Amino acid sequence: MYPASFRYYRPATLQEALSILQQEPEARPLAGGQSLIPAMKLRLMAPAALVDLGRLQDLRGMSREGGWWRIGAMTTHREIEFSGPPLLAEVAHVIADPAVRNRGTIGGSLAHADPAADYPAAILALEATIRAVGANGERTIPAHEFFQGMFTTSLMPGELITGIEVRELGPGWGWAYEKFPHPASGYAVVGVAAVVQVEGGVARQVLVGITGAADAPFRATAVEEALQGKVVTSQTVTAAVEGAFSPDRMGEDPFASARYRAHLCAVLARRAILRAWERASR
């Protein structure tokens, strides 16, 4: 199918893009277009205008400073896969296929907020901060406040993501991402990201983000609290994940029932935490 007709803008600066979004309330920002364009072709979305962010070079690239990674919103999955922080690189490697990874951007993915996207699990586990700018100026949004529901975020109308900040995982930190992909789409039926900090032979911090399981990504706080201050072993992790994921919270579709998704959450969380612990203990 062909998309409905729309107006097209290609601003040269961030300020110009924000101005257009203020003037065109029904406009949608266009980053890599790997989610928006297919939705428009299927007539699932029909924005009155597109604001192409492709010329905004200030929103591209990555840097490391003061124990933090700063990643521009227009940085592609491929760039993150080969040069980004280790957990996000691991996640980027299993997003779709090389063609999508060469065009899709981290900012576009987060703003789209697909409940089966891969990045949100890692963004939550890394306790990342999303930087955004709009008519009222700049602000920062903690990851746990950003995802509001299916395809819904805390971004205000006319607001753009400019970048993401995540902590640099040094010695004593481990990470892992485990994913059960849908066999046709490659999206996460369930994806689990784990970050573990080891200090004195025990887990000082355990952070677990879940995607694909519900209408929005979430932190597995019960699992995190159960492992705090403990030696992470197969037995302690199995005990922590047992009963931690209720089917009542899970989504359901013809491919995976709520009960099956709850089971996958426990299995993948166990694998991710153990792998993260192994890395942190080296």
Over 80: is that where the pLDDT of 55 sits?
yes
Token reading at 132? 């955004």
Per-residue pLDDT band for 38 (boundaries 50, 70, 90) equals very high
Q: Which pLDDT value is given to residue 225?
A: 98
pTM: 0.96
Q: Report the DSSP pairing between strands 152-153 and 160-167.
A: unpaired
Give how far Cα 9 sits from Cα of 12, 20, 29, 104, Å. 10, 8, 9, 19
Please report, for residues 84, 135, 195, the alpha-carbon distance to residue 267 in angstroms, rounded to integers and kept in the order given: 27, 44, 16
Per residue in 120-178, pLDDT tens? 999 999 999 999 999 999 999 999 999 999 999 999 999 999 999 999 999 999 999 99
Tell me which fold the domain 60-166 belongs to.
Answer: 3.30.465
pLDDT above 70 covers a percentage of the chain that reads 100
Residue 260 has a pLDDT of 98
Q: Three-state DSSP class for 165? A: strand
What does the pLDDT read at residue 145? 98
We find that the CATH architecture of domain 173-280 is 2-Layer Sandwich (3.30)
Model confidence over 221-250: pLDDT tens digits?
999 999 999 999 999 999 999 999 999 999
Residue ranges per domain, the chain?
7-50, 60-166, 173-280
As a whole number, mean pLDDT of residues 39-51 equals: 94
Mean pLDDT score of the chain = 97
- pLDDT, tens only, 268-279: 999 999 999 999
pLDDT at 205: 97
pLDDT of residue 102: 97
- Judge whether residue 1 has pLDDT over 80: no
Using pLDDT thresholds of 50, 70 and 90, give the confidence band for residue 80. very high
Tell me how far apart the alpha carbons of residues 195 and 261 are, in angstroms, rounded to a whole number: 21
Report whether pLDDT(2) > 90: no
